A = this chain, B = another copy of it.
Amino acid sequence: MSKRIADSTVRRLSAYLRFLEDFESRGLETISSEELAQRGGTTSAQVRKDLSFFGSFGKRGLGYSVPELAGRLREILGLGREWKVIIIGAGKIGAALAQYRGFRQRGFQILAAYDANEEKIGLKLEGIPVRDIAQLERDVKQDHPDIAVLTVPGDEAQRVLDRVVKTGIKAILNFAPTQLQAPADVTVKTVNMAMELEGLSYALTNRE
């Protein structure tokens, strides 16, 4: 597939899709790059450039067909199918994610949560079973999850990641505040709240 697409572009596509769904639900038929841009806090040229990497979806003079563009974006983002997700670490953050509606809505199906704490094993977290981390390898072999979400303490994160990688899972969403090392064919996205907070602290401290 053509050339490498920037991370920032993919994130914007994701944002565009959200607006399109909003427009779709309100029954609107077409949308211009300018409208899309305003909602996404970017420029119309940016929107058109982003889309142009994947083809020409619009009509000059008119704009984009809302349902068609939404469909194309879902296709590009790989949202046409269900992705199976496991959560590793059944703490507070794991629990919050388990009930997060955004997962289901977008076709991310949570299979199970894993933990080492015996008191948690066997319980249900928002309807999702908490299993013994010891059976991770066996379960992955059977259920073939696509994505692992890591919500374990920072000092365990790398060790757990290595274990997850060994099972063959190629996509990881990490909530531990740690820089993780993984092979090139495994995609790791890290959500680091500490870093965001420090970014706010920096902004508050250094305002001109």
> Which residue numbers of A lie inside 8 Å of B, CB to CB?
1, 5, 7, 10-11, 13-15, 17-18, 39-41, 76-79, 83, 92-93, 95-97, 99-100, 102-103, 106, 108, 146-147, 170-173, 177-179, 181, 185, 187, 189, 191, 193-208
Contacts and interface: CB of A to CB of B under 8 A. Distances in A.
Most buried by B among A7, A170, A203: A203
A103 B203 CA distance: 17
Most buried by B among A77, A99, A202, A207: A202
Contact of A171 (B5, B108, B200): B200
In the complex this chain forms, how many copies of it are found? 2
Given A96-B92, A102-B177, A181-B41, A199 B204 contact: no
A24 to B, nearest CB: 15
Given A76-B205, A173-B193, 6 more contacts: A76-B206, A77-B202, A93-B100, A100-B193, A102-B177, A173-B196
Nearest to A97: B193
